[in-house]
Structure 1
Amino acid sequence: MSFVSISSKPSQLGFKICCSAKEAAIQARKETVDKVCSIVKNQLAVPDGTPVTAESKFSELGADSLDTVEIMMGLEEEFNITVDETSAQDIVTLQDAANLIEKLVTEKTE
């Protein structure tokens, strides 16, 4: 999946147009992490004010094995993907989940 990002920035000669597929990919990854954090926060009923970030570990957020399965099902539904059991066992942090989602979504669109 690739996106083109176009932005304008003031410069001495007027405006400069910048196109960056890399910037778009970074934004897409950030959106994936944000969705993962939101789904996990809702699924685990994490209290307001409790930080949930890409570096958060499922276990630190209080997720047991059943919670983790339910979270993975929610992520599969949200991103229209299927996560095999072997891949799911390697997920420790929310970033791990987001990385796997990005990989599966990319494979699906190729």
Structure 2
Amino acid sequence: MIFEKVRDLVADRLNHNIEDVTMEANLKEDLGADSFSYAEIGMLLEDSFNVTISDLDLDQFQTVGDLVHYLEQHVTEV
């Protein structure tokens, strides 16, 4: 369930088909995210999952899977 929400959010924000947004997809290289996109995705994830993501953590995410794994560890209720 977390992956599907992340996939939909990332696909919408980065203007990609959901088929492009896989666990292995690199946010920058494959999906074209830039620093502004990262910040927006971070805020959208915080709102969607009721979680706080530090800037340090956000900077560490390279793939969609990184986002999903982080949320699986920090979200108590989906």
Of 63, 67, 71, the match for 1:93: 63
Scaled by the length of structure 2, the TM-score of the pair is: 0.87
Of 57, 72, 77, the match for 2:26: 57
CA distance in 1, matches of 2:66, 2:75: 14
Do the aligned partners of residues 64 and 102 (structure 1) sit closer, same or farther apart at CA in structure 2, a change above 3 Å counting?
same
Scaled by the length of structure 1, the TM-score of the pair is: 0.63
Gaps of 5+ in 2: none
Q: Cα distance, 1:49 vs. partner?
A: 7.3
> How many residues are paired up?
76
Given that residues 7 and 18 in structure 2 are in contact (C-alpha distance below 8 angstroms), is that contact kept between their aligned partners in structure 1?
no
In the alignment, which residue of structure 2 is the partner of 1:37? Answer: 7
Instruction: Decide which structure has greater strand share.
Output: 1
Answer with 1 or 2: which has the greater Rg: 1
Gaps of 5+ in 1: 1-30
